[in-house]
Each structure stands twice: as structure tokens, then as C-alpha cells.
Structure 1
């Protein structure tokens, strides 16, 4: 921006200077017609005879005629200036020792140019016809008022300065805005990574502690038979299974983060997938006294990985069963909407707090901290989201606090 302003200023400055030079040259090319005869007597007293005309386009100009000794001979001007100003301008032009330049006088700027000319001198003797003619070189100085031009340049410089200061803050603000937005995803990913490592370490710490405690119990009863200590072995086996599932889930999420998971994109019957999951969970639903309602459109075909979609349906339905209220209801829906297939599972119960909805699909996040060790690790919804996202779908959660919660995915 500064480079552009400098370029504009230089171009404008050059154009104005060139224009002023053209104006001054036009004045010089149409010189004031002076009488070439300067009469002088024997006492060297010179009559100042000056006749001429300045072009009307350049009324803010005047001419002076000086001798070879730099004495002011004549002044021609249509400008209302004092004799002192004319003399001072002539003095400044002569003292500058340049053929053309700019001088400052009483707050005004004048561009001048010095041009030598030849003049004839007639010397009169005592007799009327006793004359001797000779040629003498004198100088004519042309002055042009360029004050307005310099005011324009000064105003342009001030304007550019003001714009530069304002734009500096504006561009800084815009840069800061985009920088923050560019860095935000990286910062968010970094914070998630730190939280992920901390949560994973915490989740692994509990089963390891349980396994160590049970191993200590086995060591304390070395003489007992395996059958008599089956309880401790079962505890160890259960915890190793949970750890194995946790490690498997973590590996899957790590692969999805690195783009190493290649999901199949083949057509399959999602209606059959949903029906199979409901049949597999029918005993659990019946045992807990849950009322199950379903509205599944038959023979709906979608593209994707059937096993992964089945896993998502299982995760969402399992969550609904876990968090449904006593003798509550679960509603399962599978329907077609234009070129999309929508699956949703809704359960009655306490619902999900509004502040928790944006975090539901975060890894290791649990709405109810009291269920921290109910067999899960808070990775189910994260895995479900990764699977649906990898298939180009969308998954979301809605809730009415104190009434219900609904999870929906669209393929």
C-alpha cells in the first residue's frame, strides 16, 4: 500500500512539474516583445522602455528584464504586487545561480526561468545625428506562480499519510482476524490432543489398578486352587476385555485422524441392518420393561460400509437403552427424504443439558459423571461421528430437558 502511494505521489509530482514547465515554456516561447533600442546618454543614464503582452492563460506570471550586471531594468506584470516583491523575486532567482528553479517568497512559490537576449544600445552624442549603435546581452527572467500546484502535492501527501495510518490499523485488524481464524483449528486440535492423552491415561489407569489389586489377592493366597480364586481371575479377565476394547477404539480413532481407514462404499440394505440390531437387543429391552416403537421403511438401499453403519446403529440404540427412564419408551425411525436416508432413535428420560449438546461427540465426554465406569469409556459417540463423517453423512443430537433425547444420522 505504501509503495502504491509513493508511486502515485511520484507520478503526480512529475506530472505537475511537467505541466508547470510547459506553462513556463509557453510563456518563454511567446516572449514579451521588448523594444530592442535602449537609449543611453553619455552619462550612462538608461531609459527603461518595456512593451509586451503575457498570454491570458498564464495571468499569474510576470517578467523582469535585468542587465548583465544584474540590475533590474524593466518589469512587466498584470499581477498586483509591490515593487519590493518584484525586486526580491529577481534577487532570489539571481542568487540561486540556476537557469530554472523554484523560489519561495511571502508564502508563495514561483517557478522561474532565465533567458538571455540581445538588445541594441544607441549612444547619443552632442549632435543630433552623432550616434553609435552597439549590441549588448541582457537577461529576461520569467516567473510563474506554482503555489496551487504545491498545495495540491502537500494535500495529497497529507491525505496519503492519513489514509496510511487508518489503513494500518484496519489491515492490522483484518490480519489479526484472519490469523486467529486460521490458527483456531490448530489450537483446538492441539487442545483436543492434550485432553485426549490425559483422558486416555486416566481411563487406562483404573483397570490397571483393578488388575493389580486382583493379582495381589491371588499372590496372597498362593496355596489356594484356581477354582477357589475364580472370582479374582474373572475380575482380571473383565478388566482386560475392557482395556482391549478401549485400545481397539483408540486405534480406530487414531486411524481415522490419519485418514488410514478405508471404508467400503457399496450399496446395502440399511432396513435389514436396523431390523437385525433391534432383534439382537430385544431381550435387553424386554428385560428392562422398555416400550419400543419402530417405524422402518423396508428395502432402503444406501452406499457405505454396512458393518460400520451397523456399529453406529448399535451405539445409538445402546445409548438410548442406557439412558431411558424406568418403564420409558424408545422410538426408532428409518425413513427416506428425497435422496437422503434418515435414521433416528429417541428415548424418554431426563434428556441432555443444553450446555452438553456441543460436547456430546467429544472423546471421553460423559454427560453423567456418575456413570464414568459403567462399562464404557465415552468413545462410542465419537466413533459413530467418525464413521458417519467418513461416509459423507451427518450426525446430530437434540434434546428436550426432562423429557427426551434424540440422535439422528443422515446418509
Structure 2
């Protein structure tokens, strides 16, 4: 399921990226093509106008009756040549500095004149030529200085070598394709990496949710089994008095109490994890809050023979949720008592450091294995499963504590050395 979801993300990302890249490369190629094509057109036009021109008639006096025609040839660009033809396409004159056989010029004119399509391309001698057909004319200058143009019954075909220009466009196209393929490969690798990273937390959350449902079902099964078993015992002894059956009723009460506590913890966890749930942050004295929790649970610790020591800095004011913070302190204190060894030690500390307050509680005891430390705040995790029913815990307390601290913008940590001690601590901004 998650592989398909990852592939959908990957396909969507690659499709969008490919479209953007293809569009960008197409724009680059189109602009380059237009510039080169425009440059070719300008060169053709310039060569057509400058290669062959007529200088006109000077009527100086009655004796000068003839017409003087002067033809000029431009040496600016040796990659072009001009051919003068009659209306039937027969060559009259060739103007060229390019060393080519004469039959090549005849082939060029025949190909151009047969199609008579300007700006078309032909191939000669392994090179590509673009041509322009224009009608020739004369500029006549009269004695009084007036001038006008006369159109001749001749045509000029201007050929321009565009082999390098086409090669440039082809090389640009190959470069864009090569760069595009490399970029697509790189983008694919990067997209695959980030797609896997994006899917990983979703997959982990899904697995945790499945495990949570399985664990919750297992935990609910135990008290329900107790209730059903004792209910059957009561039905089997219907003639007995209620007083004589109190032990079965007590067992049922124990089962319902355990199930009620579990359900309340689950509801509390679901409520805290709700994205719309807002903590009620108000300034309060966290030093007094720690003293209140310590006083309420001191008797339980003394009953177990645990020695308590504390170092609580006075009058530390924080802006947070008083009830939620007290709930976290209570969870950590209760956890320390449960997992302290007989006649053990619990040390509590509350200090202010820079712009945050640090609370820690350390208890002696069996400790937590190093490989289990990352799982401590998971739902239904138990550091000592064999003592679960004895202590009445479900492994939700620490998960609730972490969710609360995260919601308050703080951090919670655990450190432990096996067979020595375990320390839980959290920080909150002042």
C-alpha cells in the first residue's frame, strides 16, 4: 500500500518536473532558433541588396546617349554567392568567390528556380544553402538630379551557407536532450529519496496504529475475561447469598475498575493528540505545583520504604497549562515509585536555566536496557512486563506525558543505567 503511495508521489513529481523542464528547454530552443533564423534572413537580404546593384543613367548632355551600369560585389561574407538569371531560369552571370565546380551552380539554380519558394533550403556539396529570389532593377539618375528605379526582366538568386547555423541548432538540441536526461535521472534519485522519507513517517504511524489497536484489544480482553468468569461463577451459585458471593463481585469490580482506567487513559491520550486541542497556558508557580504533587504522593513512597530527596528552586513562574504539567509530574512520580527497588531512593530536582525550567526525577532500581530506551514513550510499552498487573499499569502514562510536553512546546528525555537508576526529565520555556 505504501509502495503504491510512494510511486504515485514519484510519478506526480516526475511528471510536473518533466513538463516544467521540457517547457523551459523548448523556450530556450525556440528563442535560439528564432534568433538564428532572423540572422539568416537579414544576411540573405543584405547580400541580395549589396551583391549586385545598378548605378544608373547620367544624362549629362545630348551626346551622351548610352547607359552605364556599374556592378559591385561585397567581399564581406565569402559564405554566399549570387546568380543572375533570365525569366526562364537560364544563368546569365555568377558572382562568387567560392571554389565550386560550375555544374554545382547550375544544380543550385535549377533546384531553386524549380520551386521558386523563397527562404527554402537545398543541399549542395555536403552543405546546406538557403536562397532568396529577387527581381533585379536599375536606379536612373537624370541630369537634374532626379532618380527613379526601373525593374529589369532579370532575377537574382542569392545563396547563403547555413550549414554551421543548422549544426549549431542540432548541437543545441542534442545538448538539451542530454542535459534533460541527466537532470531527469538526478531528479528521479532525489525524488525517490524524499518520497521514501515522506512515506516513512506515514508507514510508521500506520504500524503504530495497528499495534495500538492490537494492544488496546489485548488489554481490554483481560478485564472482560475477569468479569465474564466471575459472572459465570455467580450464575453457578444462584442459591447463595450476596454476602457469600462478595469475592466474585470484588473480582468483577476490579475488572471494571481496570477497564475504566484503561478507557480513561485512551480518551485522555486521544484528546491530547487532537490537532484542535489547545493547552490553556497561564502563568503559574511551577515550584508550588511540584510541592503539591510531592505532598500528595509522599505517603505512597514512604509505605514502600523509599527515601525521598528533592532540590526545588523556589518561585519559578512559567506560562503553561497548570493541570497538564501537574499530570506529567504525577505520571513521572508514580512511574518512579512503581519501578524503584525496595528501600530505594528517589531524587527530584527543579531548576531554572537561562530561559527554561528543567524538572527531573531519578529513581534507583532495575533500570531500562539501552536498546529499550527509544521505546519508553511508546503506547503500551512496559519496562517490566512481569509487574504490569501488580502495579495496575497499562504502559500509557509515559506516552501521555510525552504528548503533553510536546503540546506545551517542551522536551522530555529518559536516561538509564541497568541495575542502577532511571532518570526522566522535561524542559519547558519560561
Please report the TM-score for the alignment, with normalisation by the length of structure 2: 0.81
Is the partner of 2:231 in helix, strand or coil?
helix
Q: Could you report, residue by residue, the CA deviation over 1:134-193 in whole angstroms, capped at 9, with x for unpaired residues?
A: x97232211111111111110111111112222222333333444444444443333333
Residue of structure 1 equivalent to 2:413: 396
Gapped regions of structure 2 (runs ≥ 5)? 1-20, 57-68, 139-150
1:99, CA displacement in angstroms? 3.3
CA contact (8 A) 1:52 1:76 kept: no
Q: Among 77, 84, 109, which residue is 2:128 paired with?
A: 109
Is the partner of 1:341 in helix, strand or coil?
strand
CA contact (8 A) 1:117 1:137 kept: yes
1:392, CA displacement in angstroms? 2.3
Matched, 1:63 2:79: no
Q: Among 36, 54, 76, which residue is 1:16 paired with?
A: 36
Distance 1:51 1:62 in 2: 18
Judged with a 3 Å threshold, the aligned counterparts in structure 2 of structure 1 residues 262 and 28 are, in CA distance, closer, same or farther, namely closer
Distance 1:15 1:169 in 2: 31
Q: Which shifted more, 240-249 or 317-326?
A: 317-326
Q: Computing the radius of gyration over CA atoms, which structure comes out larger, 1 or 2?
A: 1
Residue of structure 2 equivalent to 1:258: 274
Residue of structure 2 equivalent to 1:347: 363
CA contact (8 A) 1:23 1:58 kept: no
Distance 1:305 1:68 in 2: 100
Distance 1:259 1:83 in 2: 87
1:284, CA displacement in angstroms? 3.0
Residue of structure 1 equivalent to 2:215: 199
Distance 2:273 2:45 in 1: 76
Matched, 1:268 2:274: no
Q: Which shifted more, 55-64 or 13-22?
A: 55-64
CA contact (8 A) 1:316 1:407 kept: yes
Is the partner of 1:100 in helix, strand or coil?
coil
Q: Aligned pair count? A: 383
Distance 1:258 1:306 in 2: 19
Q: Among 36, 40, 48, which residue is 1:28 paired with?
A: 48
Residue of structure 1 equivalent to 2:242: 226
Distance 2:168 2:377 in 1: 64
Judged with a 3 Å threshold, the aligned counterparts in structure 2 of structure 1 residues 118 and 267 are, in CA distance, closer, same or farther, namely closer
Is the partner of 1:117 in helix, strand or coil?
strand
Q: Among 366, 369, 372, which residue is 1:356 paired with?
A: 372
Q: Among 254, 260, 284, which residue is 1:238 paired with?
A: 254
Q: Could you report, residue by residue, the CA deviation over 1:322-354 in whole angstroms, capped at 9, with x for unpaired residues?
A: 222344322211111122111101122332223
Judged with a 3 Å threshold, the aligned counterparts in structure 2 of structure 1 residues 103 and 261 are, in CA distance, closer, same or farther, namely closer
1:121-200 → structure 2 map (5 Å cutoff): 137-200=153-216
Distance 2:364 2:117 in 1: 98
Is the partner of 1:74 in helix, strand or coil?
strand
Q: Which shifted more, 150-159 or 225-234?
A: 225-234
Q: Could you report, residue by residue, the CA deviation over 1:60-85 in whole angstroms, capped at 9, with x for unpaired residues?
A: 11112223332333222112222232
RMSD of the TM alignment (CA)? Answer: 2.5
CA contact (8 A) 2:135 2:152 kept: no
Q: Could you report, residue by residue, the CA deviation over 1:205-249 in whole angstroms, capped at 9, with x for unpaired residues?
A: 011001111112222222222222222221111121111111111
Q: Among 89, 92, 103, which residue is 1:84 paired with?
A: 103
Matched, 1:376 2:393: yes
Judged with a 3 Å threshold, the aligned counterparts in structure 2 of structure 1 residues 4 and 54 are, in CA distance, closer, same or farther, namely farther
Matched, 1:406 2:423: yes
Distance 1:63 1:113 in 2: 10
Judged with a 3 Å threshold, the aligned counterparts in structure 2 of structure 1 residues 91 and 51 are, in CA distance, closer, same or farther, namely farther
Judged with a 3 Å threshold, the aligned counterparts in structure 2 of structure 1 residues 64 and 293 are, in CA distance, closer, same or farther, namely same
Judged with a 3 Å threshold, the aligned counterparts in structure 2 of structure 1 residues 81 and 381 are, in CA distance, closer, same or farther, namely same
Please report the TM-score for the alignment, with normalisation by the length of structure 1: 0.85
Distance 1:78 1:161 in 2: 38
Judged with a 3 Å threshold, the aligned counterparts in structure 2 of structure 1 residues 290 and 168 are, in CA distance, closer, same or farther, namely same
Q: Which shifted more, 175-184 or 21-30?
A: 175-184
Matched, 1:72 2:86: no
Residue of structure 2 equivalent to 1:122: none
Judged with a 3 Å threshold, the aligned counterparts in structure 2 of structure 1 residues 212 and 99 are, in CA distance, closer, same or farther, namely closer
